Structure 1
Amino acid sequence: MVPRPALLVVDKPVGPTSHDVVNLVRRGTHIRKAGHTGTLDPSASGVLVVLLGGATRLAEYLLESDKEYEAVVRFGQSTSTYDAAGPITASGPVAFTGDALVRALASFEGESLQTPPAYSAVKIEGRKAYELARKGEVVDLEPRMIRIYGIELLGWEAPQAHIRVRCSRGTYLRSLARDLGERLGSPAHLEALRRLRLGPFTIDQAIALDELRARFTPPTWPSIALPATAVLQGWQVLELNPEQIAQVQRGMAIEAADAQGRAQAINSDGELVAIVQADGEGRHWLPRKVLTET
């Protein structure tokens, strides 16, 4: 039996878009309401979380989460897209040492301003930047504050560096590759990218796309679906009785003795019913998101 609302943690391969994966899940599960959190480019692989049914309302909480990647940076060449998909825009020597590379990587740790790639989904006056870039229009994106929690050199064999990065939302590894090259005096681009973690979900939990496809017929996929509460790990839990559930579903507040912060409200079966927020006096829980199945 599938938990409702639910989610699937997929190991997206190189090739399909994130939207392709969502469409596959919609067809296979026969659940029309589905969406992913955190786009992976076609050239990237790794953790893609697909939310099903009412769980789609939790997307913002995953988008807040930090992420972890392994990447290959290729020095000596830069491209228009900052990855291997675009044409080469500049070539140059790879004249730095491994020690210089380690120091340069460490310099990116902490908060900094980063400019997203022109070929990205960042919107400019309602239009995606990559749509403008493909038409040859000048794309001028504002730098954004990001945070690199940790960056590690896993391997170095010129002209390629294999790195692991833990970072905040909004961080573009393509921009990091370009900026790393500039700091070392060598043009660079992102050659490969694999997401190892998105919030609480890791690559060890992810199911390969071919295996997931095989589970649609006969339908054994529910056995690997996770409950929506998995998104909210670490949150306080509030179990509601049937009367309280009815109140929340009508948008009514629930009386409380000492409500603080926000909580996941569940039913007696442990299924997520709503996200609730304490009022200013701590006397009531106020429904903020009520999850319903469609």
Structure 2
Amino acid sequence: MHGWIILDKPLGLGSTQGVSAVKRALREGGYGRYKVGHGGTLDPRATGVLPIAVGEATKLAGRMLDSDKIYDFTIRFGRETDTLDLEGQVIAESEVCPSPAEVEKILPRFTGPIDQVPPAYSALKVDGERAYDLARKGAEVTLASRAVTIRALALRDSAPDSATLTARVSKGTYIRSLARDIAHALGTVGHVTMLRRVKAGPFTLDSAISLDKLADAAKGQRLEDCLLPLRAGLDDIPALSLTPDQAGLLRQGQKLVGIAAVDGQHFALDGDTPVALVEVSDGDVRVVRGFNL
């Protein structure tokens, strides 16, 4: 049980609760104890792709955090809330409802490298406390702007008072902040009413399962049917086949020399067995993350 379980996270569930659900499934299915972690926080008010790393795949969770994400989201114009979503209190109102053409015209301004101020209701820490905890106490939360990249942004659908968009974004991007800033640029206010992550790194909704399916698989001791291989988290890098002797050297922490492979990261394999995520430079191979398999 070393690999990935991709949850289609339901509304209201936190990312850590998703991790707990997989731990519970492993336990109830009699699979034993494994390390479990998630590959990128997803807001409780959001649904969609939540990669859960199991066993040795947890060594790749940090790499997943750095990956691009794709979201579908709906902005409802006319009201801004303090949380920038449906849960918050209304703090500003406007009668301006932009047309689809006006929305599309503004999108290039938010495509590429941009600066954005995260929501006050976020998990970022301020003086050792979570921003959302301070905000709930009524404290004024001021967060510094951060540089993020919106790699693609497109209008999918529209209604008289709303617009649904798809965004491919870099790590650290807050969709609620993006929605707020788009509304402001259109001379109005708005908040997010729907947020769904449709892709995280290489993982899409096609491989995602519901909590009910997870629980059923655990009860039937078929959880391995839901497990994607460790390799699935590295499908964007080439494989590097090793001899048993070469694999043994890497497992001992030694570097390989004179290997004919292009520079960059590779997924090193001994037959079908994952050995390590490695970095190749001028024929030298060094371990970035080793797998105990």
- Please, what TM-score do these two structures have when normalized by structure 2? 0.92
What is the Cα deviation at residue 258 of structure 1? 4.1
Farther-moved stretch of structure 1 (87-96 vs 169-178): 87-96
> What's the CA shift for 1:64?
2.0
The correspondence of residues 224-263 of structure 1 with structure 2, limited to 5 A, is 224-259=226-261, 260-263=263-266
Partner of 2:118: 116
Candidates 263, 266, 269, aligned match of 1:266: 269
Structure 1 stretches of 5 or more lacking a match? none
Q: Would the aligned equivalents of 1:17 and 1:40 in 2 still touch at CA under 8 Å?
A: yes
Q: Determine if contact 1:254/1:286 at 8 Å carries over to the other structure.
A: yes
Q: Distance in 1 between matches of 2:97 and 2:134?
A: 35
Give how far 1:125 is off. Answer: 4.3
Distance (Å, rounded) in 2 between the aligned partners of 1:140 and 1:246: 52
The match for 2:63 among 61, 64, 68 is 61
Note the 1:98-109 alignment, pairs <5 A.
98-109=100-111
Distance 2:236 2:58 in 1: 19
Deviates more, 1:152-161 or 1:37-46: 152-161
Distance apart, 1:93 and its partner CA: 0.8
Within the candidate set 195, 198, 220, 1:196 is matched to 198
- RMSD over aligned CA atoms reads 1.7
CA distance in 1, matches of 2:147, 2:189: 23
Kept in 1, the 8 Å contact 2:81–2:191? The answer is yes
TM-score, normalising length: structure 1: 0.91
Select 2:22's aligned residue among 14, 25, 36.
25
| Count of residues in Structure 1 that have an aligned counterpart in Structure 2 | 287
CA contact (8 A) 1:83 1:174 kept: yes
Over 3 Å counting, the alpha-carbon distance change for 1:136 and 1:106 in structure 2 is same
CA contact (8 A) 1:15 1:42 kept: yes
CA offsets, 1:84-114, max 9 Å, x none? Answer: 1111111221243332122122321111111
The answer as to whether partners of 1:94 and 1:158 remain within 8 angstroms in 2 is no
- The offset of 1:35, in angstroms, is 0.7
State the secondary structure of the residue aligned to 2:219: coil
Match of 2:120, SS state, is coil
User: Are positions 1:289 and 2:292 aligned together?
Assistant: no
Q: Is there any run of 5+ residues in structure 2 with no aligned partner, and where? A: 28-32
- The one-letter amino acid of 2:152's match is G
Find out whether 1:43 has 2:45 as its counterpart: yes
1:99-178 pair list within 5 angstroms: 99-178=101-180
In 1: Cα distance, 2:20 partner to 2:284 partner: 40
What code does the residue aligned with 1:83 have? D
For 1:78 and 1:289, the matched residues in 2 are separated by 44
Quote the offset at 1:38 in angstroms.
Answer: 1.4
Contact kept in structure 1, 2:202 and 2:236, CA below 8 Å: no
Name the SS for the 2:138 alignment partner: coil
Paired residue secondary structure (1:171): coil
Which amino acid letter does the alignment assign opposite residue 81 of structure 1?
A: T
Give the percent of matched residue pairs that are identical in Structure 1 and Structure 2: 37
Distance, in Å, in 2 between the alignment partners of 1:95 and 1:235 is 45
- Partners of 2:64 and 2:185 lie apart in 1 by 32
Relative to 1, partners in 2 of residues 1:223 and 1:256: Cα closer, same or farther, differing over 3 Å? farther
Kept in 1: contact 2:259–2:285 (CA 8 A): no
2:11 matches 1:14: yes
Measure, in 2, the Cα distance between the counterparts of 1:72 and 1:98: 13
**In 2, Cα distance between the equivalents of 1:102 and 1:236?**
38
* Counterpart residue number, 2:30: none
Query: Residues 153-187 of structure 1: CA distance to partner in whole angstroms, max 9, x if unpaired?
Result: 22211212111111111111100111011111211
1:80 — aligned with what? 82
Question: 1:136: how far off?
Answer: 2.6
AA of the residue aligned to 2:291: L
